[in-house]
Chains A and B, each alone.
Chain A
Amino acid sequence: MSGKDTLIVDLGAGYVKIGSASESEPRQVINSVTKAKHVKTRVFVGNELDECKDLSGLYYQLPFQKGYLLNWELQKQVLDHCLKPYADKRPLSEWQVIVTEPCINFSPVAEALDEVLFEEYGFKAVARLPAAFLAAQRDQRQRGVLPADHACLVLDCGYSFSHAAAYRRGRLVPGSVRRVNVGGKVLTNYLKEAISYRQLMVMDETHVMNQCKEDACFVSENFDADLAAMSRAAQRSPLDSEAQERCQKLCCEYVLPDYAQHRRGFVRQLGSQKQQQQEQTLRLGIERVATPELLFRPSDAGIPEMGVAEALCDTLSGLPPHEQPLYTDAVVLAGGSCRFAGFANRLETELRASLPDDFPLGVRCHGDPAAQAWLGGRDLALSPDGALECYAVSRKDYRDHGAALCSERFAQFT
Chain B
Amino acid sequence: MVDAGVSSRLRETRRLVLDEAARQRRHRRALEALEADNFQADPHADLRVSKLAPKFSDEASSFGPSRDALGGVAASADGKKSRKAKAAGGSGAVGTLGGRLRRNFAALLEEELARRAQLPGASASGSAATPYELAQVGPSRLPPRHFCAVCGLLGPHTCVVCGTRFCSASCYSTHQDTRCLKWTG
Contact = CB atoms under 8 A, between A and B. Distances in A.
Given A60-B37, A73-B94, A311 B102 contact: no
Nearest to B136: A179
Interface residues of A, number: 85
Interface stretch (B5-13, B14-22, B59-67, B118-126): B59-67
Contacts of A178: 135-137
A37 B42 CA distance: 9
Interface stretch (A75-83, A261-269, A360-368): A75-83
Nearest to B153: A231
Interface in B97-119: 97, 100-105, 108, 111-112, 115
Nearest to B145: A300
B139 A305 contact: yes
Contacts of B111: 108
B132 A104 contact: yes
B82 to A, nearest CB: 7
A187 to B, nearest CB: 9
Contact of B140 (A57, A104, A163, A310): A310
Interface residues of B, number: 67
B34 A301 contact: yes
B93 interface: yes
A285 B34 contact: no
Interface of B: 27, 30-31, 33-40, 42-44, 47, 61-64, 66-67, 69-70, 73-74, 76-77, 82, 85, 93-94, 96-97, 100-105, 108, 111-112, 115, 131-132, 134-142, 144-145, 147, 149-154, 167-168, 178-179
Given A177-B131, A231-B153, 7 more contacts: A35-B74, A40-B44, A73-B93, A106-B132, A298-B140, A300-B147, A306-B140
28 contacts: A42-B69, A43-B67, A43-B73, A43-B74, A45-B67, A57-B40, A60-B37, A65-B105, A68-B108, A70-B105, A72-B100, A73-B76, A73-B93, A80-B61, A103-B135, A109-B103, A116-B96, A178-B136, A179-B132, A181-B136, A197-B179, A203-B39, A290-B147, A303-B34, A304-B139, A305-B138, A306-B139, A310-B140
The 10 closest A-B pairs by CB, nearest first: A299-B144, A203-B39, A70-B103, A179-B135, A204-B40, A306-B137, A177-B135, A306-B140, A231-B153, A65-B105
